Amino acid sequence: MSECTHDCSTCASKGNCSSEIQKEKLNEHSKVKKVYGIVSGKGGVGKSLVTSLMAVTMMRRENRVAIMDADITGPSIPKMFGVKSEIQSTSEGLVPAESKMGIQMTSVNLMLDNETDPVVWRGPVIAGLVKQFWTDFIWSDVDYMFIDMPPGTGDVPLTVFQSIPLDGIIIVTSPQELVSMIVAKAVKMAQLMNVPIVGIVENMSYFKCPDCGKEIKIFGNSDIDEIAKKYDIANVARIPIDPNIASIADKGAIELFEGDWLEAMADAIEK
């Protein structure tokens, strides 16, 4: 038997394979136009931050936006938006919480008695919950949904790629020597799943001196442009190390961020 590439569209066993997963259907009362995954080959690079900033950027362009927090064991989206309301249940389905700006969202942290309670579940259970985020919630007339994915290429990212109709992904990385390997893992998984890559966001790219305005490359010079060229990725964005971003995220006020780092990425998505 040949090795499975997870690309069911070109497989000789299509329709006859026990591992083949069909796209899940939205709740009949939902409407979602475009869906983008925020991914990385490793953790700690700022996927949740980029997810939040992209959502706010698109909301400021007068779009209706939603966030699915699929990082079940490390959820942080509600915290950054200051959202603590519980998920409501109706006869038609579950109703997402909303931020102050009106960004719809769901996260396991909105379902726990205490947001600091750990989620100690097996992979299949976690993957099943992510599917329910898509099928059981009433997403109201959403123009753009962003999915904050867990790091790596395990059960949950695979479930999202196979079960939810993604229009593209944004890869998040940091300016370190491991960046090439991190990006390569995410790129290859996207290629296997036939999902377009919108662009790469380099988080913690530099620190801008508040006195002289000089950009200081704390982690050294990155080769993100060369990597993007290697994998034919057109869009590259850079987010600086900014104490103000950390402060408003900790205060649950990420919607107040100031910066145009992701405008070009937003342009690419709208086009």
Task: For 182-228, write each residue's pLDDT tens digit.
Answer: 788 888 889 888 999 999 999 999 998 888 889 899 888 888 899 89
Is pLDDT above 70 for 19?
no
Please, which residues have CB within 8 angstroms of residue 256's CB and are 6 or more apart in sequence? 248
Residue 236 is predicted with a pLDDT of 95
Strand runs labelled E in the chain: 32-39, 65-69, 88-89, 94-95, 97-98, 104-106, 142-148, 168-173, 197-202, 207-208, 215-216, 235-238
**Whether 48 contacts 82, CB under 8 Å:** no
Selection from 118-132, 181-195, 256-270 with the highest mean pLDDT: 256-270
Is pLDDT above 60 for 170?
yes
The three-state secondary structure class of 161 is helix
Q: Does the CA dihedral 155-95-23-78 come out positive or negative? A: negative
Average of per-residue pLDDT across 33-43: 91
User: CA–CA separation, 35 vs 188, rounded Å?
Assistant: 19
User: CA–CA separation, 247 vs 258, rounded Å?
Assistant: 12
* CA end-to-end distance (rounded Å), the chain: 42
User: CA–CA separation, 229 vs 179, rounded Å?
Assistant: 14
- Whole-number percent of the chain with pLDDT over 70: 92
Selection from 76-90, 113-127, 174-188 with the highest mean pLDDT: 76-90
